[in-house]
Chain A
Amino acid sequence: MANPTMGLTLLEGAPSFGVEAFDSQPLFPSAQWQMCHPFEGEAPVECANLPAVWSDVWITNHILMAIIGAALAILFWLIVSHKPKVVPSKRQWAGEYLYNMLRNGIAREIIGEGYQKFVPWLVALFSFIIINNLFGSFFLVMFPTFSVIGFAWGLALLSWLLYNIVGIRQHGFFKYVKHMIVPGDVPGPLLILIIPLEFLSNFIIRPITLGLRLFANLFAGHLLIMIFVVGGSWLLLSSEQIPIYNIAGGLSLAISFGLFALELLVAYLQAYIFTVLTAQYVASAKAETH
């Protein structure tokens, strides 16, 4: 912990933080786990051969956050769609406004004909991602779930499966693969170059960047906030010698408020981009022409 592989180490006695600060902890740590991961200052115990209990590897605090996020998303849509009226109440209007944005602004605009089938998935995707992203700026949690990369991979995998299955059902397997990797109107010799590139781009780079984009934005944003808040509060409170450090600490704490505002924007933007790109990939898999 004293020397993280990547991160910041302040003066002795100050907290050091880096990538390791994002490590997930089990929700119900067993005695074995606590022995292997002692508190700072305690000596670590030899624990290489101890078996892991299922609660150590399975339910972590981040998985609990994802479950709460999913429950909140379901709850939100249940509340705003409860007892709809012709003249909408404020609650119903808010829900309809958001749903309209996703249905007409994303699904109908991008997928076009036959978009209705995909609206539930896009709405669920958007609301799940934005709620989990807003956890990063919400007290009690203060951690965006998708800054743990496994969650982002999970969503990217689901989107990858979705657009490939849609394409295969639309065109049949071989026609779909041909549709994705052989663009029309390309002269023969160029195909040697184009086919591997298109394969790489459409089947491998797409899901990787989809997951990485979500992860990297939230991870970087949260690390930035952590640097400004922890470093700023340390400079403000723990360095008495030179007054300019205290001023710099106060300043960086003030800047951290601006960064929180930026994080709210990023939370929305990343949820939106993930949804738009999923719709875009579905549309390109469904399209008749390349």
Chain B
Amino acid sequence: MTLLEITGSLNVIGYGLGAIGPGIGVGWIFASVISGTARQPEARGAMLSTAWIGFAVVEALALIGVALAFAR
């Protein structure tokens, strides 16, 4: 008797692996903004606007992974 069956493709595991890199990257970006803000609070705005661009670029990899996870 099977209690719980998970169907799907291996792509999803590949996506899980592919999300590691962007996860670390996004964490790193905002960690840098936080420590930068602690050192120089008035530069927060300038750092954040650069961080958003960097965030979008880094997260692009994870998002492309989401799209490819659905490819058959």
Contacts and interface: CB of A to CB of B under 8 A. Distances in A.
B63 to A, nearest CB: 4
B7 A209 contact: no
B: interface residue count bin: 20 to 34
Interface of A: 3-11, 18-19, 109-110, 201, 205-206, 208-210, 212-213, 216, 273, 276-277, 280, 283-284
14 contacts: A5-B7, A6-B8, A8-B7, A9-B5, A11-B1, A11-B3, A18-B7, A109-B45, A109-B49, A210-B56, A212-B66, A212-B67, A216-B66, A280-B53
Interface string B34-59: 00000000000100010011001101
Contacts of A11: 1-4
B7 A213 contact: no
* Among A18, A109, A208, A209: residue with most chain B CB under 10 A: A209
B63 A8 contact: no
A6 B12 contact: yes
A19 B70 CA distance: 10
B9 A6 contact: yes
Given A7-B8, A8-B7, A283-B49, 13 more contacts: A3-B7, A5-B9, A6-B8, A6-B9, A7-B7, A9-B6, A9-B7, A11-B1, A208-B67, A212-B67, A216-B66, A277-B56, A284-B53
A201 to B, nearest CB: 7
A280 B64 CA distance: 21
A6 B7 contact: yes
> What 4 A-B pairs have minimum CB-CB distances, sorted nearest first?
A6-B8, A212-B63, A216-B66, A209-B60
Interface string B1-35: 11111111100100000000000000000000000
Contacts of A3: 7
* Among B1, B4, B9, B63: residue with most chain A CB under 10 A: B63
Given A11-B2, A11-B3, A277-B52, A209 B63 contact: yes
A276 B52 contact: yes
B27 to A, nearest CB: 15
B4 A5 contact: no
Contacts of B52: 110, 273, 276-277, 280
Contacts of B66: 212, 216
A8 B56 contact: no
Contact of B59 (A6, A9, A213): A213
A209 B70 CA distance: 15
Contact of B57 (A9, A201, A276): A201
A209 B8 contact: no
Contacts of B8: 5-7, 18
Contacts of B63: 208-209, 212-213, 216
A280 B57 CA distance: 12
Nearest to A9: B5
A219 to B, nearest CB: 9
Nearest to B48: A109
A209 B26 CA distance: 15
